[in-house]
Amino acid sequence: NAGVTQTPKFQVLKTGQSMTLQCAQDMNHNSMYWYRQDPGMGLRLIYYSASEGTTDKGEVPNGYNVSRLNKREFSLRLESAAPSQTSVYFCASSEWLAGVPETQYFGPGTRLLVL
Amino acid sequence: AQKITQTQPGMFVQEKEAVTLDCTYDTSDQSYGLFWYKQPSSGEMIFLIYQGSYDEQNATEGRYSLNFQKARKSANLVISASQLGDSAMYFCAMREGHDAGGTSYGKLTFGQGTILTVHP
């Protein structure tokens, strides 16, 4: 089991360029999430998908769009990158089962630098 | 107001000693969960321990235990017998409530983290 995988691992963009961050999980989880982590800070939720076919905004959604392509894959798109979006992006997935803690499992992260 | 507060930007501990990392939280929900994650210098997020709001006993996982004081809204992480490999950033996080159907979407709110350095 690979768990949660993210591509690319590192990306440099120029202001105004677009890109899509890919995330896939092989744990058959219903819920998936995108977070960003700025230097010296905790993670902040960008978007999440409670189940296939649904997406909702998190704490910091501006400048991003998401697509839940299927149960396994959840992508994050930056349409017009800005320097303020320089960050490390984490994808996570989880599953809620009665009586079991809903632990989120994280991917390795994507480091994005916007010049 | 901050939902998760970690007041210790950095902590130092001698190898083999115990250390407590502080976390206080703010919620009006009755049902919530508290998590601790470890982030080593390599960057990945590693789940350590979980405490549910209705759990009467403090959670333990190996050398990790969670000192849960519900009335004080604190969920401190205790690491016993520290090892050099414990040097990392540690995050406290909270998942609040459930929807009407009883399903938690699992959205986590993170604190700012505490950098733990273990000295030999």
Structure tokens at A61: 């959604």
CB B106 to CB A104 under 8 A?
yes
Cα diameter, chain A = 47
> What residues of chain A lie within 8 A of the CB of B35, using their CB?
103-104
Nearest by CB: B105 against A31, A106, A109: A31
Q: What is the pLDDT of residues A10-43, one digit of tens each?
A: 999 999 999 999 999 999 998 899 999 998 788 9
Interface probe with A: pick from B8, B35, B60, B105, most Cβ of A within 10 Å: B105
Looking at CA atoms only, how far is residue B91 from chain A in angstroms? 7
Quote the CA–CA distance of B37 and B33 in Å, as a whole number.
Answer: 13
pLDDT at B1: 55
pLDDT tens-place string over residues B61-101 = 999 999 999 999 999 999 999 999 999 999 999 987 655 44
The string of pLDDT tens digits covering residues A56-84 is: 998 899 999 999 989 999 999 999 999 99
- Read off the pLDDT band of B102 (50, 70, 90): very low
Q: What is the model's pLDDT at position B29?
A: 84
Q: Look at residue B89 in the predicted model and tell me its pLDDT.
A: 96
**Å from B3 to nearest chain A CA?**
12
Query: Which one is predicted more confidently, A85 or A52?
Result: A85
* Separation CA B38–CA B46 (nearest Å): 5
Spatial CA neighbour of B105 closest among A112, A102, A38: A102
Contact B118, B103 (CB under 8 A): no
Distance from CA of A87 to the nearest CA of B (A): 12
Q: Do B106 and A109 touch (CB under 8 A)?
A: no
pLDDT in the model for residue A42: 87
Considering chain B, what percentage of its residues have pLDDT values greater than 70?
90
Q: What is the β-pairing status of strands B88-96 and A43-49? A: unpaired
Of B43, B106, B111, the CB nearest to A96: B106
